[in-house]
Structure 1
Amino acid sequence: VLVSHGTATALAADHQERFGLGPHTRALQFASFSFDAAVWEMCVSLLVGGALVQVPDDRRAGLPLAEFITRHRVNLAVLPPVVMDAFPEEAHLPEELLMMVAGAAMAPELAERWAPVTKLHNLYGPTENTVCTTASDRITGGRPPIGRPVAGHRVYVLDRHLAPVPPGVVGELYVGGTSLAIGYVNRPGVTAERFVADPYGPAGSRMYRTGDLVRWRADGALDYVGRVDH
């Protein structure tokens, strides 16, 4: 997936304002460089003057990871739910930690465990829209939403006729805006299939068909429901 430098810097600018990031930020470098989350980790730390703290291979799970985060004063991390679930009961994370969960759906049980003791947020986004499309407010418990669009993103919940559905009704999520990827490298057919004309945006704009099912909540946030192919 080919994305531009400009969309990556726009993501960093959004998160700097949204989460109060800056030179004091110490972000955990956890993701493999082959995953888009690694781009997120680098952009939201180094591009705002912060530090990137690389976790060694023997500290990447369970109690050793929790102890590493505390010992090295990490105050920003993005982890998948499976890693969060692997923390044993005796594991403690710093209260000032901005804990972002991404990569898979966050279960209510995970939110109930970590919301009281960290600054917990849920992030959602495909690589095709430069890693992060929506971000939740701080989660306090219950069913965690995937949040609202970050700056420069347009999101639509549409039916099979590409018509918007009302709040509470499940539809497929389409994303548009200035942070869309250029496309798939050397795969023009797939690019044309997934990046389609945006009938709700400016003339000539595109939107990406995510294949994810969501619904609008009454508070204006999005709930993740599942996949269209499941």
Structure 2
Amino acid sequence: CMFHSFSFDFSVWEIFGALFFGGKLIVIPKHLTRDVEAFNRMLVDQEITVLNQTPSAFYVLQDHVLKTGTRNKLRYMIFGGEALDFAKIKPWKSLFSTRMINMYGITETTVHVTFHEIYWQNLNSSASLIGKPIPTLSVYIMDPKFKWVPVGVVGEMYVGGEGVSRGYLNREDLTRDRFIDYRNSNKKERLYKTGDLGRWNPDGTLEYFGRADEQVKIR
């Protein structure tokens, strides 16, 4: 379903993720996104199978579902937009067979960059796992001198690949600051400087460590 406003990049994934694969797109009216009881009823009545949520919105929905004991047909729950506390989704995992996917991404890199399917063994970990890059994108963890840092060392995340945008409209100064031309071996690549901290784990997954600056999200 399309839960988010079309002005939020999450909606791109919601719209085309359904339509490109022959699904039916249920557009959730704005007032229902703020009424968890009515929204949950719509989930059940419309037999929605794929739902995208920010973690904070999901926690509210989960509390309502646990309180009312309602059942749904969700096959996939996809998280994005903010850091997910894995421990908080234990109640849902214990009741439903929904596959839960944690995704990381930025508007400047066309919505999603990485994905991580959440399994039971992840739920007792305090690590904010964001998984591996999707096939068309790359993630580099670098120090302030644009050198790769070793596995297990925290650095700033840079994103390259087909999803990286051309820059900001009429903001050449900000474009120069956030988008860099990077030479990797013999290949020159345009990267987006995310401002987010992360590290590679030995198993090849990425772990998120928050912002490198003081930027905050205001709703």
Q: Give the TM-score band, short-chain normalised.
A: 0.7 to 0.9
Paired AA for residue 164 in structure 1: W
CA RMSD of aligned residues (A): 1.8
Give the share of equivalent positions with the same residue, in percent: 33
User: What is the 5 A alignment of 1:77-226?
Assistant: 77-87=51-61, 88=64, 89-91=66-68, 92=70, 94=72, 96-116=74-94, 117=96, 118-140=98-120, 141-143=123-125, 144-200=128-184, 203-226=187-210
> CA–CA distance in 2 between the matches of 1:217 and 1:45?
32
Correspondence for 2:49 among 63, 69, 75 = 75
Question: Which residue number corresponds to residue 14 of structure 1?
Answer: none
Higher alpha-carbon deviation: 122-131 or 104-113:
104-113
Paired AA for residue 56 in structure 1: P
Which ranges of structure 2 fall in alignment gaps of 5 or more residues? 215-219
Which ranges of structure 1 fall in alignment gaps of 5 or more residues? 1-27
Paired AA for residue 12 in structure 2: V
> CA–CA distance in 1 between the matches of 2:92 and 2:199?
25
Q: Which runs of 4+ in 1 moved over 6 A?
A: none
> CA–CA distance in 2 between the matches of 1:31 and 1:51?
16
CA distances 1:154-191 after superposition (whole Å, capped 9, x unpaired): 10011111111122211110000111112111112211
**8 Å CA contact retained: 1:134, 1:146:** yes
Paired AA for residue 124 in structure 2: G
> CA–CA distance in 2 between the matches of 1:63 and 1:169?
44
Q: CA 1:55 to 1:227, structure 2 compared with 1: closer, same or farther past 3 Å?
A: same
Shift of 1:120: 0.7
Q: CA 1:156 to 1:99, structure 2 compared with 1: closer, same or farther past 3 Å?
A: same
Question: Which residue number corresponds to residue 63 of structure 1?
Answer: 37
**8 Å CA contact retained: 1:112, 1:142:** no
Q: CA 1:156 to 1:115, structure 2 compared with 1: closer, same or farther past 3 Å?
A: farther
> CA–CA distance in 2 between the matches of 1:181 and 1:193?
14
Given the alignment of the two structures, is residue 54 of structure 1 paired with residue 27 of structure 2, yes or no? yes
CA distances 1:12-45 after superposition (whole Å, capped 9, x unpaired): xxxxxxxxxxxxxxxx111111110111111111
> CA–CA distance in 1 between the matches of 2:195 and 2:91?
30
Q: CA 1:56 to 1:135, structure 2 compared with 1: closer, same or farther past 3 Å?
A: same
**8 Å CA contact retained: 1:196, 1:207:** yes
Q: CA 1:217 to 1:63, structure 2 compared with 1: closer, same or farther past 3 Å?
A: farther
Q: CA 1:222 to 1:111, structure 2 compared with 1: closer, same or farther past 3 Å?
A: farther
Residue 135 of structure 2 aligns to a residue whose secondary structure is: coil
Paired AA for residue 30 in structure 2: D
TM-score, normalised with respect to structure 2: 0.85
